[in-house]
Copies of this chain bind each other. A is one copy, B any other.
Amino acid sequence: MTAYDKLAAHIAEYHDLLCILNTLKWDMRTMMPASGASSRGRQLATLTRHAKSIFVSDDTARLLDAAENEVASADSDSYRARALRQSRDAYEIQRRIPSDLVARMAALGAESEAVWAKAKDENDFVSFKPYLSQMLALNIELADAIGYEDHPFDALILQFEPGMTAARLHRIFAELKAGILPLLERIVAVEAPLVVDLWEAEYDLAAQKQLCRELTALIGFDYDRGRLDSAPHPFEISFTRDDVRITTRYDANYLPMSLFAALHEAGHGLYEQNIAPKLTRTALTADFLGQYAVGGASYGAHEFSSRLWENQIGRSREFWRRHFGRLQAAFPQQMAAADAEYFYQAVNRVRPSLIRVEADEVTYNLHIMLRTEIEMALLEGAIAVDDLPDVWNAKIQEYLGLTPPDDRRGVLQDVHWSFGGFGNFPTYTIGNIMAAQVLAAAHKQMPDLAAQLADGDYQKLLTWLTENIYRHGRAYRADELLARVTGESLNTAALLAYLENKYSDLYGVN
């Protein structure tokens, strides 16, 4: 056995434990009776601690040293070398984060999330404030422990998007705003309500489920290696590429909720299902820093796949031209007055709104920028937790021309800050940007792609994505992947062009 093989065997067991944590989380969010929550919390805490003690151990240090000596001369671009570097990086960072800080964050997070939920219900920001202040302080401690050069946000986003920084995000956001705000202004000026509201009808839940299954299978989600369930907050999670679970949620009236959440999560699932089998149980199919078995290059890169299949494919005119018949077959009465074009318009309405998760493609990134800018300012100390409602309301007025009637629909709407997830929001926007860049590159490299998509043939795109992106798991950083696939670094041109083309056509505002 080589030194690398010994490390790999050690890592494989750690990976098994991370997959088990995923299984526990999946069950908790889909199957577990409510009374099981407290036991499950303890089980998760115990296994998380064990997993961490196995990874951040003298064993790991010794095995890493030995493997590094052995692999030093090998090709630095090989999967082995990359797995080794990523294990080393995660090990060094994990070592710098005191166990005590992790425990305090976890303990506060559990309490804080409950307080937040109540505060949101009761529109009572004041009761949530002390928790948010403490959570902010702990995130500053965490950033200090991880280390950074310019901005504490750089340390926090490292957990989700290695290579991204506050400074780069500022530039990206400026470009996005310069493109999106004028487009939005043109759209808002002409928008007229649709004549028939499709979402007043009732859509049988079993038929919705069947349709979700059909459409996700159509784009290539492999049900022999996965399943679809329902969850109040849809998510995708995997326990290796051979067992990938996706979820969606159902609203009896609002059909798009289940369809697009299913396509979104299937987009995540396609990434996991198409990672090269040889990467199973390696550092290239897990986030060792976050102790999470996930196979994409980064959180943003994972979101690229979900956004691409949900929006660029699933909300395209071609998609519904091709598949509207399935909708009609499932819901003949509800769809009696609609056609493919009408449905396409109905699921692409642009409306400035207060709630991020209901936002359309044009306004969505504005919601993300607002949150990210506030997070950065909090970390810098440029604003105080006390000021948050005012800052939030001023920003959403600036970006979307709206004033929240209460904090529930303002600063209290998202769960993320309550459990301490600072640095995570921008990965959604990074995903949107990457999806546009990657799909543009795919069209360039495959001149027939548009015709295939119009034909309802998604196999060639899936094969291309697998070959160029999915199969590599986490071997390449998001930046490296983009450079390999598109020859570019992350930039907003493709996304802005996509939005401009699609929506200026849709709203006749060319």
Which listed residue, B34, B39, B243, touches A32 by the CB 8 Å rule? B243
Which listed residue, B17, B46, B280, touches A13 by the CB 8 Å rule? B46
In the assembled complex, how far is the CB of residue A30 from the closest CB belonging to chain B, in whole angstroms? Answer: 9
Which listed residue, B33, B34, B35, B243, touches A36 by the CB 8 Å rule? B243
When distances are taken between beta carbons in the complex, the residues of chain B under 8 Å from A43 are 16-17, 19-20, 23, 239
Copies of this chain, count = 2
Residues A46 and B242 in contact, CB atoms below 8 Å apart = no
In the assembled complex, how far is the CB of residue A237 from the closest CB belonging to chain B, in whole angstroms? Answer: 12
Given contacts A19-B39, A23-B27, A39-B239, contact A33 B224 (CB under 8 A): yes
When distances are taken between beta carbons in the complex, the residues of chain B under 8 Å from A23 are 23-24, 27, 43
Task: Select from chain B the residue with minimum beta-carbon distance to A16.
Answer: B46
Residues A240 and B36 in contact, CB atoms below 8 Å apart = yes
Q: Does A47 contact B (CB under 8 A)?
A: yes
Q: Does A227 contact B (CB under 8 A)?
A: yes
A4-30 contacts to B, CB under 8 A, are 12-13, 16-17, 19-20, 23-24, 27
In the assembled complex, how far is the CB of residue A420 from the closest CB belonging to chain B, in whole angstroms? Answer: 23
Residues A46 and B17 in contact, CB atoms below 8 Å apart = yes
When distances are taken between beta carbons in the complex, the residues of chain B under 8 Å from A42 are 12, 16, 281
Complex CA–CA separation, A19 to B50 (angstroms): 15
Complex CA–CA separation, A352 to B208 (angstroms): 49
Task: Select from chain B the residue with minimum beta-carbon distance to A229.
Answer: B31
A107-145 contacts to B, CB under 8 A, are none
Q: Does A62 contact B (CB under 8 A)?
A: no
Given contacts A23-B23, A47-B17, A47-B20, contact A39 B280 (CB under 8 A): yes
Q: Does A477 contact B (CB under 8 A)?
A: no
Q: Does A148 contact B (CB under 8 A)?
A: no
When distances are taken between beta carbons in the complex, the residues of chain B under 8 Å from A38 are 242
Q: Does A223 contact B (CB under 8 A)?
A: yes
Residues A16 and B240 in contact, CB atoms below 8 Å apart = no
When distances are taken between beta carbons in the complex, the residues of chain B under 8 Å from A47 are 16-17, 20
When distances are taken between beta carbons in the complex, the residues of chain B under 8 Å from A227 are 31, 33
Complex CA–CA separation, A280 to B40 (angstroms): 13
Residues B39 and A243 in contact, CB atoms below 8 Å apart = yes
Q: Does A162 contact B (CB under 8 A)?
A: no
In the assembled complex, how far is the CB of residue A60 from the closest CB belonging to chain B, in whole angstroms? Answer: 15
Given contacts A35-B225, A224-B33, A224-B35, contact A243 B19 (CB under 8 A): no
Task: Select from chain B the residue with minimum beta-carbon distance to A45.
Answer: B16
Q: Does A234 contact B (CB under 8 A)?
A: no
Residues B24 and A226 in contact, CB atoms below 8 Å apart = no
Residues B31 and A31 in contact, CB atoms below 8 Å apart = yes
In the assembled complex, how far is the CB of residue A320 from the closest CB belonging to chain B, in whole angstroms? Answer: 29
Which listed residue, B36, B50, B243, touches A40 by the CB 8 Å rule? B243
Residues B33 and A223 in contact, CB atoms below 8 Å apart = yes
In the assembled complex, how far is the CB of residue A273 from the closest CB belonging to chain B, in whole angstroms? Answer: 10
Residues B223 and A40 in contact, CB atoms below 8 Å apart = no
Given contacts A31-B227, A242-B39, contact A24 B16 (CB under 8 A): no
Task: Select from chain B the residue with minimum beta-carbon distance to A22.
Answer: B43
Complex CA–CA separation, A281 to B42 (angstroms): 10
Complex CA–CA separation, A223 to B33 (angstroms): 8
9 residue pairs of the A-B complex, CB under 8 angstroms, read A12-B42, A16-B47, A17-B47, A17-B50, A23-B27, A33-B242, A39-B280, A40-B243, A50-B50
